[in-house]
Structure 1
Amino acid sequence: MISLYAHAGGDEGLHRLEEIFYTKVLQDPLLRELFPERRPTHVDHLTWFTAESFGGPDRFTRELGFDYLIGVHRHLDISDEQRDRFVELYMEAFDEAGLPGDEPFREAVREHLEFGSRVAQQNSRAVTDEELHPLREVPLWTWKEPDSPAT
């Protein structure tokens, strides 16, 4: 089974996607308060997280750890509208990045986004540690890859 990471084109494909996405959120009026300024490491961190979640190297866990991710989302109070816009812009970036457009891959990416954005939203609204989402490690996302063509 091919990983989502490999199908996306590895680090190169995912970095291209995250750069396009990050540029979009920085310019978006609704998301600007969540992303008020360009941080030099943000695209790399996004790439590391997505790569690890899609079955690639575990750099995010080794270099930053999941507690880092919880910390950056705490107290952002992400609205439903912001969460929806985040997913919308990510899928726009996905289309613009030239990643494979097959429906099984596209659906897996969308499901990953929907899940992850809900975790981030819950953590952004948590007042106490008990209100945080129970996820404490980068999830490994899988998919039902398309059947291989006959040779």
Structure 2
Amino acid sequence: MVIEYIRYRVPQQRRAGFEAAYERAADALRAAPECVDYELSRCLDDPACYALRITWTSVDAHLDGFRGGPVFGRFFAAIKPYVADIEEMRHYTRTGVRGPGGAAPPSLFEWAGGTDAFERLCAAFYRLVRSDDLLAPMFARMDPDHARYVAVWLAEVFGGPATYAAERGGYRQMVGQHLGRAISEAQRRRWVNLMTDAADEVGLPGDPEFRAAFVGYLEWGTRLAVRNSQPDADPIQQAPVPRWGWGVAPPYQHGPQSTVARGAE
């Protein structure tokens, strides 16, 4: 993805019309498959200055797809009277220098209790698995360190250190654990149920906000794991380790319109 910044200097007598024009232009951005999101900001120190941020899926998607597409005419018609007020219009890419500040809410990893909480969770979960008729055969040849590996994966997914990516091979390794296993829907549901039972047993936070996010990931990840495990599956082998927050994780885009399936072990 790329970020386009357009900086305007708009005289006071034209500001109301300018903001109204972008309200109309926003309809085109919302309809454009090349546009991820957008935001128009006004400077508090110098109210004549505006900054428009638009995230595009790529530079080509913006310059060729959007500008050559069916909604650009509506967009440009709305903002055309203000083109002369543009001071800068450039594309940017994100760097690795970013992260939450002190006012940000704690990560799910922190809220759960850190690495120790996920290690206790997985130890309890796999103890339940070993006595479960449906799941025990799936894990009969489980590596002695399997529970710890899954704890490290979950810790990273929920906002903890990127240990699984650094030491275990990241997403590719996780996908490989599911290939050819033909996981059934009944097994998937039992996995989710036992994981939530384990969460209760070890005392993971029970507040609705945490549990909604926690179970949301379990549902999302296990459904993708089922898909990736089928005999005819052809999952993407390279993708980031998902990072799950208090809301819904965005899909990982591979190509113009396809969503990559990512799973949980």
Q: Give TM class, smaller chain.
A: 0.7 to 0.9
Please give the per-residue CA displacement for 1:96-151, whole angstroms capped at 9, x wherever unaligned: 0111111110111100000010111111115353xx2687221110115xxxxxxx
Alpha-carbon distance in structure 2 between the residues aligned to 1:112 and 1:13: 17
Alpha-carbon distance in structure 1 between the residues aligned to 2:122 and 2:236: 24
Aligned to 1:8: 112
Q: Are 1:34 and 2:144 an aligned pair?
A: no
Aligned to 2:208: 103
Aligned to 1:149: none
Computed over aligned residues only, the root mean square deviation of the Cα atoms, in angstroms, reads 1.6
User: Greater strand share, 1 or 2?
Assistant: 2
- Divergent runs of 4+, >2 A: 126-129, 133-137
Superposition pairs for residues 35-50 of structure 1, below 5 Å? 35-50=139-154
Q: Are 1:139 and 2:242 an aligned pair?
A: yes
90-99 or 133-142: bigger deviation: 133-142
Deviation, 1:90, is 0.4
Calculate the TM-score normalised by the size of structure 2.
0.51
Please give the per-residue CA displacement for 1:20-72, whole angstroms capped at 9, x wherever unaligned: 00111122110122111442211111111101001000011111121111111
Percent identity among equivalent residues? 39
Alpha-carbon distance in structure 1 between the residues aligned to 2:139 and 2:129: 7
Q: Are 1:66 and 2:201 an aligned pair?
A: no
Match of 1:58, as an amino acid? A
Match of 1:112, as an amino acid? Y
Equivalent residues, number: 142
Match of 2:221, as an amino acid? G
User: 5+ residue gaps in structure 2?
Assistant: 1-104, 248-265
The answer (yes or no) to whether the contact 1:108–1:143 under 8 Å persists in 2 is yes
- In structure 2, the CA distance between the partners of 1:134 and 1:71, relative to structure 1 (3 Å rule), is closer
Q: Which one has the largest radius of gyration?
A: 2
Higher relative contact order (CA 8 A, sep 6+): 1
Alpha-carbon distance in structure 2 between the residues aligned to 1:59 and 1:19: 18
User: 5+ residue gaps in structure 1?
Assistant: 145-151
